[in-house]
Amino acid sequence: MIIVLKPGTKQEEIDKVVELIKEKGLKPVVFDGVERKVIHVLGDVRDETPNGIKSIDCVENVVRILKPYKLASKEHHSQKTIVKVGDVSIGNSDFVVIAGPCSIESEEQVMEAAKILKEMGIKIMRASAFKPRTSPYSFQGMGIEGLKILKKVREETGMLVETEVMDVRDVKIAAEHVDILRVGARNMQNFDLLKEMGKIDKPVILKRGMCATVKEFIMAAEYILANGNKNVILCERGIRTFETAYRNTLDLSAVALLKKETHLPVIVDPSHAAGNRDIIPALSKASVAVGADGLLIEMHPNPEKAKSDGAQSLFPHQLAQLLGELRPICNAMGKNL
């Protein structure tokens, strides 16, 4: 960290800043510049809030040298993290497609979806029991009842299952019922939830908040990692921009950047980015090409009857077709699908 002092800063003011830095267990080194003095702060300052120092009167600016995240960064951990779920590995040379309905609506619906997916060779099914809906009058999900359905379908079909958790109080029970837990976009900075996710021994899919920067996204992953869970999968799902022609803007640059900056697997949810099934195949193909490790896609046995996100849910035959179209692109990228 470098502290830039205002021109004309008096020696006694410099001494105060130096003292403060020492009190924090860090080493200050003062440099005389032509126009102003700067203080280099040596030591691990990731847990220092530069704002505290920034608020000192004689300080003009504080420049961080170290990245604020450590556990998620490639600098700290150069080997790729490969998340294992049952016999599936995410983050290696396999391209993993996780698909299924937006919500759990009934046992029959989930069972039907699981059978369709299994037939296509998909091994992990998504389906949400807890639903973060914009309107309190929309379908709110089946809750714990839904988790039980998911577990039953898992046992009967052998499918691995993935679901969203919105509330800290549901983390434990969800972890007992499913193979992967998901933090939804709206909860990316629910820090208590992230801490709880850090304490379970199930992989976590962390979705990017629709208004979160890449740095904030990585810092959210850092919370889970710092609390002990190393099996974090990042998921880009589109961000809010001025564009209204689709639900969100899929930030493929973020996927490339996350792959460069972190060792964690990165998957893409084209469904919530698109909001409409028509452009999902194109977004999915682009995701493979940009280096994603997998996809999280909504597929409903009968999208017209879906209780949530029907318009963006693929019909079963569309998903089957998409898988066929993705294969040559995966091959070109050195990935197996």
The helix or strand, by DSSP H or E, that contains position 119, with its residue range, turns out to be: helix 107-119
Distance CA 251, CA 228 (A): 29
Q: How far is CA 173 from the centre of its chain?
A: 21
Near ligand PEP by CB under 6 A, which window of 21-29, 151-159, 184-192, 218-226? 184-192
Q: What x-and-dash track marks residues 306-325 binding Mn ion by CB under 5 A?
A: ---x----------------
Distance CA 248, CA 257 (A): 19
Cβ burial, residue 247 (10 Å; 0-12/13-18/19+) = buried
- Asked if 132 touches ligand PEP (CB under 6 A), the answer is yes
Near ligand PEP by CB under 6 A, which window of 41-49, 134-142, 178-186, 255-263? 178-186
b/e code 196-222 from CB counts within 10 Å (16+ = b) = bbbebebbbbbbbbbebebeebbbbbb
Q: Give the shortest CB-12-to-ligand PEP separation in angstroms.
A: 53
- Number of amino acids touching ligand PEP (CB under 6 A): 11
- Asked if 247 touches ligand PEP (CB under 6 A), the answer is no
- Asked if 239 touches ligand PEP (CB under 6 A), the answer is no
Q: Give the shortest CB-307-to-Mn ion separation in angstroms.
A: 10
The helix or strand, by DSSP H or E, that contains position 177, with its residue range, turns out to be: helix 171-177
Q: Choose the contact partner of 207 out of Mn ion, ligand PEP, none; CB within 5 to 8 A by kind.
A: ligand PEP
- Asked if 269 touches Mn ion (CB under 5 A), the answer is no
Q: Choose the contact partner of 198 out of Mn ion, ligand PEP, none; CB within 5 to 8 A by kind.
A: none
Q: Choose the contact partner of 248 out of ligand PEP, Mn ion, none; CB within 5 to 8 A by kind.
A: none
Q: What is the CA radius of gyration of the chain?
A: 23
The interface with ligand PEP within residues 152-171 (CB under 6 A) comprises 164
